[in-house]
Structure 1
Amino acid sequence: MLLNRRISVWYFVRGIKSQIILISIFAISIGLVDMHPTFQKISLPLSIPALVGTAVSLLLAFRTAQSYERWWEARTVWGAIVNDSRNFLRQLIQFVPESNKNVISEFCDRQIVWVYALGEALRKQRFSPRVQAYLNLHDINAMNTPNALLDEHSKAIKHLTSEGLISEFKQVQLNETLARLCDSMGKCERIKNTVFPRSYSLLVHTLIYVFAAILPFGLEDSQLVVEITMTILIPILFIAIEKTAILMQDPFENTPVDTPMTSLAQTIEISILQMIGEMEVPKKETTELYYEM
């Protein structure tokens, strides 16, 4: 997630480098064609390129709004995961007798592993050594590892009830919190697996090139350099806006605008370890980059 620090301009330029080159070649070609005697007599009212530019602007505004909505939903869901993780351990501390602190520690360890595993699964990364060691130790092998860990939570809660350590009413409360964690996981998976329609990007790109193609015919032919410069700059601005939307629309892709799931997992780990009275609590890692993961 981007922080209030200087953002690397080159990171963004590298993302649209190919489009800049393509637009520049296209604009120079159209500008030279416009200077040909055959096309010099062709003159379009400037209102026509303005109309196409307005259409592109409206489409980009919608695209950016939808992308930000996906990004913000992802961040809101992970905020709920932070809260529900704390509430889950708080309930266990209240419900489980103090003589069974080892049971609470097991839930704590499993919940910490779950948040790290969920973030790594959403980014489609290999599980970290810590997560993999826990999975190997408890012989957990499933296609959806985070869901399997929640199943282990559910089995442990059922065991507590059958042993008489918690009442059925407390079991219901714990299951409700567990259900909210499962809902949050499902929302993350929905965002991850829902692809933004490719046809929308194709339409925007087509209109941008149509705009670049007709703009020189609405400008003065006497100023070729200005004509080509404007034909390059304005479409590049449109492409830059679209690139911003593309970066935001997938908040689990391990990029600078990614939801900071690792950082949030560290926050959860520190919080619940402090709640159970653990003395060796890891410090929150800081980064010198302009974003945190």
Structure 2
Amino acid sequence: MLLDVKLPVYYIFKRILPDILRVMLISIIFQLLKYFFGHYLPLIPLQLATILGSSISLLLAFNVSQSYDRWWEGRKIWGAVVNDSRTLVLQVRSFLQPEALSAREASEHLTAVAYRQIAWCYSLGESLRGQDPMPSLAKFLSEPDLAYAQAQKNRPLALLALHSTQIRELHLKQAVNTFQQVQLDSTLVRLCETMGQAERIKSTVFPANYRLLVHFLIYLFLGTLSLSLVESMGFWEVPVLLLIATTFFLIERTARYLQDPFNNAPTDTPVTAISRNVEINLKQLLEEPNVPAPLTSDTFYLM
């Protein structure tokens, strides 16, 4: 997630530099054609370029709007992850029946659920980014849980299955009653739905043909604008065209990076930082003395 700080110039322009160089090359070619073959260049009215620019602006506005909707949905999903993670541990802590379990057993069960939920948050975020979550899970899971997760392809789903098994065992031991089991299962269902929503965003790509069409139309507009300005502005057409091109390509690239909020990029939803906040909250609920600090960043983004 980009932070509210001054963005470095290299980050803003490095992605559009190839496009800007191509536009500059096109502009220089038209300048040379005007100089050597001025009578053969077509006279294109500026109104045509204006109409094209207005149409492309509408397409870019739609593109940015849809891309931001995807990014914002990803952020809302992880807000639900935080809420349901806290809810699950609070429910287990309040539901466990003291007459069915000793204080030590109740503490072990609560700790197992809390640590497994912390592991679930980290594993979900890393899985969405295409990373291997297993190295992050070793410090949160018991050996049997770790071995079970290792054998599964979908590690976050495996951890939810372990949650479900433990809740069923607590119900069989009468450590939670039937109504409490239903409440815990409802929380697990919400966590599973949240995971599915995040996976849907990750697996559903923004239509590539739409992106290519917008990219082509930008070049068509800039070429038309260059032919329209080359007669009236002379050499000044080059910097003017580059300035306009920079604006259009920056907007297009901004939309492209917002389309995937789980791409391990600075524009991502900060799933690692959110998972760390969940870890802090749940360890405080366990009243543990050593609670990690929230993630901070010395750069312009937070992952």
* TM-score category, normalised to shorter length: over 0.9
Unaligned stretches of 5+ in structure 1? none
Moved more, 42-51 or 227-236: 227-236
* Pairs within 5 Å for 1:1-293: 1-35=1-35, 36-40=37-41, 42-98=42-98, 99=103, 100-127=106-133, 129-132=135-138, 134=141, 137-138=144-145, 139-140=147-148, 141-219=151-229, 221=231, 223-293=233-303
For residues 281 and 177 of structure 1, what CA distance do their matches in structure 2 show? 25
For residues 232 and 88 of structure 2, what CA distance do their matches in structure 1 show? 72
Unaligned stretches of 5+ in structure 2? none
Moved more, 276-285 or 263-272: 276-285
Moved more, 24-33 or 155-164: 24-33
Q: CA deviation at 1:132?
A: 4.3
Q: CA deviation at 1:30?
A: 2.7
Moved more, 87-96 or 276-285: 276-285
Is the 8 Å Cα contact of residues 2 and 302 (structure 2) preserved in structure 1? yes
For residues 193 and 135 of structure 1, what CA distance do their matches in structure 2 show? 31
Q: 1:220 to 1:112 in 2, by over 3 A?
A: closer
SS where residue 299 of structure 2 aligns? coil
SS where residue 223 of structure 1 aligns? helix
Give CA-to-partner distance per residue, 1:32-76, whole Å, 9 cap, x none: 334423335x32221110000011101100000001000000001
Give CA-to-partner distance per residue, 1:230-272, whole Å, 9 cap, x none: 2222122111100001111111111111111111001001101
Q: 1:227 to 1:48 in 2, by over 3 A?
A: same
Is the 8 Å Cα contact of residues 34 and 217 (structure 1) preserved in structure 2? no
Moved more, 43-52 or 186-195: 43-52
- In the TM superposition, structure 1's runs of 4+ consecutive aligned residues that sit over 3 Å from their partners are 132-137
Q: TM-score, normalised by structure 2?
A: 0.92
Is the 8 Å Cα contact of residues 30 and 213 (structure 1) preserved in structure 2? no
SS where residue 231 of structure 2 aligns? coil
Is the 8 Å Cα contact of residues 23 and 236 (structure 1) preserved in structure 2? no
Q: CA deviation at 1:12?
A: 2.1
Q: TM-score, normalised by structure 1?
A: 0.95
Give CA-to-partner distance per residue, 1:99-148, whole Å, 9 cap, x none: 21111111011001000011111111122633146375521221100001
In structure 2, what residue type is equivalent to 1:127?
P
Is the 8 Å Cα contact of residues 30 and 227 (structure 2) preserved in structure 1? no
